[in-house]
Structure 1
């Protein structure tokens, strides 16, 4: 599953009373907890039941850079047996998008199944990727942006009224060897209904408006000639950056993520000026 991509984009910054005094949104440190459940599954998926929880913790600022700690635990049943998956990811994105470090450990029934670790650096007209695990490897990729830059671009475009655009992204997911093309659709801004099941978790943010957003991820151009997205996610993006009410479509199956708990940490000063 492309859950890392979910973490670094869909589970984006939430906050209370966040303003947009400048062109760059203020991404507020927070911890968000989501309950996960199976939405739909085809016979091909073999999945009969899925439940779990995601915990996403975001810290940092535009000056210090951004750290994300993410954990996604699921119990998956196929009718005859079950397995528990546990994905743990830590990333750091340097201020200005100069570099991006990533480390992911994936466990199945408490046994380490895969570990990916490395760093990507923007240099000139391209991206230099240095992978440490599972094997040492050096890659040269096209110029692109990292997850927080992708998020800032999304919020900025939504504020400007953009309803559709295409961009690219490197997030260190899977084998950390690809730049994904993303198409983003932003719907009309709406108000949260009093009957919304996530209202209690939103607390003081329940009056904030949001945009319905849909993002499709495609493999690099020319790879397999695919025009069907490898992954798709839809969610509600609040004016302050909070993301919730997610549906993650992996093709053979889809899952939902509902916000159940939100903790906002100390806000960085609005209009913060970085020391050179």
Structure 2
């Protein structure tokens, strides 16, 4: 059965401090300016190892960033894939997530659900709050629980800010602890980020299947690779990542031409739709932005247009 761990894959690129000793939250004046947008990616199987029991995978990912640096950002992610095993049996995995991150990165509220063939296989809901040297988590719902993680820990968009700021500042290697509430809400991840040289042409290295907005050609871009390690599994010694994300990341937070490596198989994603929304800058806080809330899900015969929130 195909098992996807994607709650933070885009938001946390979802969602690294320049060093683990960097304890301060990024200030509004230095953080990257994220541009609200809706991006749709067609996903397909690019490779699978012998014994993976996967003959084909295809699907669609819809990522929507709304809000502003003044009021905080909301991320809605919908990822639906149909996998086929070696015997021809089809399985639909539907991941739905939404989270809100406060403008000062002090608090995170989240909700995740994963359906496998219409069966609710996994869910998490709750809030997380930064304290002076830890993160306190309050899980709600059927698995109500309080947790605490010690150390310097990033939330997803805080992580995204620092990756972009680090890339712009010439940082090529970053490591940080990351909490996003994904899976069951009890996992803490380590994100190891490698940033390549800034692309001379921001629209090069393309696998996109659409004409990109001219504005994206004016936004600096870097090839980025992030490996996500689960720190909550108690593993010692050399570890292997849960998965690895490779993408081209623009300075406004837009990701394109992505690759998701799960070890035994890889998925390739092509950007097929991009809608850039108005950006609210710190100097204009107080202005309003109207954003679309409906997202078209894939496999129209089985899953039609649904509200993510």
Task: Work out whether the TM-score is over 0.5.
Answer: yes
SS of the residue 1:200 aligns to = coil
Choose from 75, 79, 93 the match for 1:72.
79
Displaced runs of 4+ in structure 1, greater than 6 A? none
Indicate if the aligned counterparts of 1:115 and 1:134 stay in contact, CA closer than 8 A.
Answer: no
Structure 1 residue runs of 5 or longer lacking an equivalent are: 13-20
Indicate if the aligned counterparts of 1:69 and 1:91 stay in contact, CA closer than 8 A.
Answer: yes
> Normalising by structure 2, what TM-score?
0.80
Choose from 76, 85, 90 the match for 1:82.
90
Compute the displacement of 1:140 (Å).
1.1
Alignment of 1:184-263 (within 5 A): 184-190=193-199, 191-192=201-202, 196-198=206-208, 200-205=210-215, 207-208=217-218, 209-220=220-231, 223-225=234-236, 226-263=238-275
Indicate if the aligned counterparts of 1:11 and 1:243 stay in contact, CA closer than 8 A.
Answer: no
Alignment of 1:1-276 (within 5 A): 1-10=4-13, 22-80=29-87, 81-143=89-151, 144-190=153-199, 191-192=201-202, 196-198=206-208, 200-205=210-215, 207-208=217-218, 209-220=220-231, 223-225=234-236, 226-269=238-281, 271-272=283-284
- Tell me, in whole angstroms, the C-alpha distance in 1 between the residues paired with 2:205 and 2:96: 33
| Higher share of residues assigned strand | 1
What is the aligned length?
A: 266
Decide whether aligned partners of structure 1 residues 166 and 106 sit closer, same or farther in structure 2, where only a CA change above 3 A counts.
Answer: same
SS of the residue 1:152 aligns to = helix
- Tell me, in whole angstroms, the C-alpha distance in 1 between the residues paired with 2:231 and 2:84: 32
CA RMSD of aligned residues (A): 2.2
SS of the residue 1:7 aligns to = coil
List per-residue Cα deviations over 1:127-161 (Å, max 9, x = no partner): 11111134111111124110000000001001101
The residue that corresponds to 1:16 in the other structure is none
Indicate if the aligned counterparts of 1:114 and 1:134 stay in contact, CA closer than 8 A.
Answer: no
Indicate if the aligned counterparts of 1:117 and 1:134 stay in contact, CA closer than 8 A.
Answer: no
- Larger mean CA deviation between 168-177 and 225-234 belongs to 225-234
Decide whether aligned partners of structure 1 residues 31 and 234 sit closer, same or farther in structure 2, where only a CA change above 3 A counts.
Answer: same
Indicate if the aligned counterparts of 1:11 and 1:56 stay in contact, CA closer than 8 A.
Answer: no
Indicate if the aligned counterparts of 2:154 and 2:178 stay in contact, CA closer than 8 A.
Answer: yes
List per-residue Cα deviations over 1:92-145 (Å, max 9, x = no partner): 111211111111111112232222111111123111111113411111112411
Compute the displacement of 1:203 (Å).
2.9
- Tell me, in whole angstroms, the C-alpha distance in 2 between the residues paired with 1:115 and 1:261: 28
SS of the residue 1:161 aligns to = coil
SS of the residue 1:202 aligns to = coil
Indicate if the aligned counterparts of 2:70 and 2:282 stay in contact, CA closer than 8 A.
Answer: no
Decide whether aligned partners of structure 1 residues 194 and 174 sit closer, same or farther in structure 2, where only a CA change above 3 A counts.
Answer: closer
> Normalising by structure 1, what TM-score?
0.89
- Tell me, in whole angstroms, the C-alpha distance in 2 between the residues paired with 1:195 and 1:246: 11
- Tell me, in whole angstroms, the C-alpha distance in 2 between the residues paired with 1:236 and 1:139: 34
List per-residue Cα deviations over 1:200-236 (Å, max 9, x = no partner): 3423145344211111112228821142222211100
Decide whether aligned partners of structure 1 residues 218 and 195 sit closer, same or farther in structure 2, where only a CA change above 3 A counts.
Answer: closer
